[in-house]
A = this chain, B = another copy of it.
């Protein structure tokens, strides 16, 4: 049953040879790697606006333009820095790999922890924002956001990724360009209207800026911090250089410029329109939906924009599925995460990582009721921490390489590192009480876990190596062969016990049958039957007036263990019958299973099960 369901959902196993190594042209790579970055214009400008108008009496709507401009500047710096990364790392690899090579273990783990947190948040934020786009258009869906989010996560993203998808699939290309087209239309139409219909023009008097006191500055910085969520995903291209057509670095560089340019234009355009139409928060309706409705009315163009927005946002969530499982597999191969995160499942995907990501994102969505503004508070810190670490690694890299013009490159990355480091401080300071502290606790915590896991694996590896003298002794048979004591627990002498005894006599010469008796009557019955069998095996009877079964048996086995020679083996052979149907097992006690488990887990005793399969 389960396995049929599994086949239907996940598909048949794939052969090792089927790992695809496809190269992508620039136009395809742009759409595939930038859905995360580009889609963030659906919530980034809105978050700036929300923050600036959030506090009544302290509304700083007029400061939107400078905040947006700073973010554009930051985008330029980050894009330029990542062009350097793409040039220096033709093999690809994210902040963890770069930091490990250039800075060492701890910075690499900080990067891994930060990126881990941010991938999970990318999935949670993007799915929530995608759902918000569609509930804005169809208000009858309001109230079911969390259910829709979870359905998208588990039914679509998890299943599709467990099946495995080619990254080159057109399913990724079409929504991105469709979204681009829609947003460009929206911006063009909106800007055109803003110049032809004077009524909506920004009126300087209406937007008088608040005087700049400390509270307003803090608000502006927080708006900036929230706006930085638009920048997540900018690193995706530089992380994936080997996926490009040759010359890889050059193509990746050009694509990064393109992506940054498009993101900049869209970000500027939407921010301008939000200011122009003086969009303010409306419950259950996104700012982009308000804009599209004001510009086009509630018609099919509006619907087109909402649906493509939803699609690109769900795609953006999918980038977390492309990124996190691979990151986890690299970290797991280095021994910082459980090994099974490093192995590909039957469909060649990193199944365990995919499931982990889905569950983590689902928990975030449930805890925060799928509300984007709350999730945004946790977001972006991780990305900027990893930006800072990656840029710092690049400085070290250029200093080591000392190629032509390395000074300029090092300076460029230095500026990148400084700027992104500053952004980390701004985000931390302005969003600390809003949730940033969770991430700041999470990163050291996950590093502690990483190190704990690594030290566990190291200690295991060391304990599991075979001392050469042991091998030598075994080879020459110089080791003294000890006795082999075989213990057969007997509850009633049945066919199962009989078969077990036969086997016990095959594997050892010292066979002991042990019966635990809690009543004299039943003890006598067992003894009589045993003597009737007369198979030459001694029956030891243990008395248990407290009706406990396991304890006397385990005590007895322990006592034998104490008095045996170090080279002797003790094997407990458990007679067990397997019923024909699983539910028949409910009618029998599970003594065999309990005994086996407690002996294996606690004692240094060898446990054998001789199963006897009932026919009816």
Contact = CB atoms under 8 A, between A and B. Distances in A.
Interface of A: 13-17, 338-340, 343-346, 348, 453, 456-457, 459-460, 463-466, 470-471, 474-475, 479, 481, 484, 493-496, 498, 501-503, 506-508, 518-519, 533-536, 545-548, 569, 571, 576-578, 584, 586-589, 596, 600-601, 603-611, 613-616
Summarize A's interface: helix, strand, loop or mixed.
Answer: mixed
Contact of A466 (B348, B471, B498, B536): B498
Contact of A338 (B507, B519, B571, B587): B587
Contacts of A604: 611, 613
Contacts of A502: 474, 479
Contacts of A17: 545
A571 B573 CA distance: 12
Contact of A577 (B464, B586, B608): B464
A355 to B, nearest CB: 14
Nearest to A470: B498
A547 B600 contact: no
Nearest to A544: B16
A459 B616 contact: yes
Contacts of A609: 596, 600, 606-608
Q: How many copies does the complex hold?
A: 2
Instruction: List 4 A-B pairs, minimum CB-CB distance, nearest first.
Output: A464-B494, A13-B546, A608-B608, A507-B507
Contacts of A345: 547
Contacts of A464: 494-496, 577
15 contacts: A15-B545, A16-B519, A16-B546, A338-B588, A346-B546, A463-B615, A471-B533, A471-B534, A474-B501, A475-B534, A475-B536, A484-B506, A571-B608, A600-B609, A607-B608
Contacts of A603: 611
Given A495-B466, A616-B463, A545 B16 contact: yes
Nearest to A340: B589
Query: Which has the most chain B C-beta neighbours within 10 Å: A346, A474, A481, A548?
Result: A474
Contacts of A519: 16
Given A16-B546, A479-B502, A600-B611, 8 more contacts: A339-B589, A343-B547, A459-B614, A471-B498, A475-B535, A506-B569, A596-B609, A604-B611
Nearest to A474: B535
A487 to B, nearest CB: 13
A494 B466 contact: yes
B463 A495 contact: yes
Contacts of A577: 460, 464
A610 B606 contact: yes
B601 A463 contact: no
A606 B571 CA distance: 13
A548 B577 CA distance: 29
